[in-house]
Structure 1
């Protein structure tokens, strides 16, 4: 199941950077640039976690934390340039799960998000973003796909479907999960979409599309990307 995260941050560049980085990890992102927008989204959207800046143009993020704590025990990670120890203690005592001082690394934020979710009983593993098997190489961060060293052109929907499978390489992802994550919850019964797009991906990535070795079918359940067979930390070959 995809985790839905609300990011409340008024800095447009940082908001865009964090949104893209978290989306790459498989989170469904909602973003707000103000306290009022954050309050409205928090009141009307089902959320799994909130990443909250304090210095917002129309008020302090602490107000949103208080509103959330009155209603639910949703994990909230505060991000702020404010470094005073007293401020951190007050926010943690008020219900924040963690407090990161800007600037911080995206990797640290992701790790702390996983910890906060784990403390609520939800275990989330770091997503696989670089994948190799045989002649196929996939880098989700750069959106580069290669076969036999040559670039492979994918449509946006094909890439989104492939990326969803990469993030769970070696595991079956059900038809309903794929349809909800790639097309939206209203399309969970449209399995013909999956058959069409999996056929297109196999035509582009498999040596023999009729006998797939990469994009595998679990009959009646879903699809699985074969486990990678190389070190995912090593860089892809240059363009």
Structure 2
């Protein structure tokens, strides 16, 4: 299970150590050094989990947690040098999902991250209709597509095809099967319509449309959405 993890920690050496451990687990890691940058990052490029130091410049971790809890259910693992019971209870009362005191074992932190992500994924599957394939998110309720946190505008036809493939990543769809997902369109559409939608989608979701890594051609069959995204060099 891999995820996009945001580390908000002003101690550069500590942040670098945690980043290396998490990247070994396959996670994509972003590091910021103050609370204001953490809030901006969460809002612009939502991670799957936030590792949040309490003592930070500009906006401290407690205020960051308080603000984020009004906006989202993002899992938060709070780090602090304060080890009193009152400090722990305050962090949990503000909405932190877990709490570790410094100094801590990086291996234990990675294990806690793994547990929080599993818990979050179970909750998401039960309550959240968003289809997630790596860093590609398709939201059928809001009719939104995001790639690495960036919103992508799609036509109704493009959205319907992408939604169908995101629901079954790795499955190869024939053009006829994909045509069956184009509800409410002119009855004279053809397989060429699917090709045009795929070409346009690649321009929007691929790092390099000429060398797709997400929306792949299955020669002799049709198309599929890759189960794991590999960023193009």
Q: Distance in 2 between matches of 1:34 and 1:91?
A: 18
Give the equivalent residue in structure 2 for 1:115: 115
**Residue 41 (1) aligns with residue 16 (2):** no
Q: Secondary structure at the match of 1:51?
A: strand
Q: Deviations over 1:11-40 (max 9, x none)?
A: 011111111211121111111101111111
Among 168, 181, 187, the alignment partner of 2:207 is 187
Superposition pairs of residues 75-114 of structure 1, within 5 angstroms: 75-114=75-114
Q: Is the 8 A contact 2:206 2:212 kept in 1?
A: no
Shift of 1:59: 3.1
**5+ residue gaps, structure 1:** 124-172, 175-184, 195-219, 225-239
Give the equivalent residue in structure 2 for 1:52: 52
Q: Distance in 1 between matches of 2:212 and 2:73?
A: 39
**5+ residue gaps, structure 2:** 124-168, 171-204, 215-222, 229-233
TM-score normalized by structure 1?
0.52
Q: Distance in 2 between matches of 1:32 and 1:54?
A: 13
Counterparts in 2 of 1:26 and 1:188: CA distance versus 1, 3 Å: farther
Q: Distance in 1 between matches of 2:113 and 2:29?
A: 14
Q: Secondary structure at the match of 1:78?
A: strand
Give the equivalent residue in structure 2 for 1:32: 32
Q: Distance in 1 between matches of 2:33 and 2:121?
A: 29
Shift of 1:189: 5.2
Give the equivalent residue in structure 2 for 1:67: 67
Shift of 1:186: 2.8
Shift of 1:193: 7.8
Q: Secondary structure at the match of 1:26?
A: coil
Shift of 1:121: 2.8
Give the equivalent residue in structure 2 for 1:170: none
Superposition pairs of residues 220-231 of structure 1, within 5 angstroms: none
Q: Secondary structure at the match of 1:90?
A: helix
TM-score normalized by structure 2?
0.54
Counterparts in 2 of 1:192 and 1:47: CA distance versus 1, 3 Å: closer
Give the equivalent residue in structure 2 for 1:15: 15
User: CA RMSD for the aligned pairs?
Assistant: 3.0
Counterparts in 2 of 1:22 and 1:190: CA distance versus 1, 3 Å: farther
How many residue pairs get matched?
142
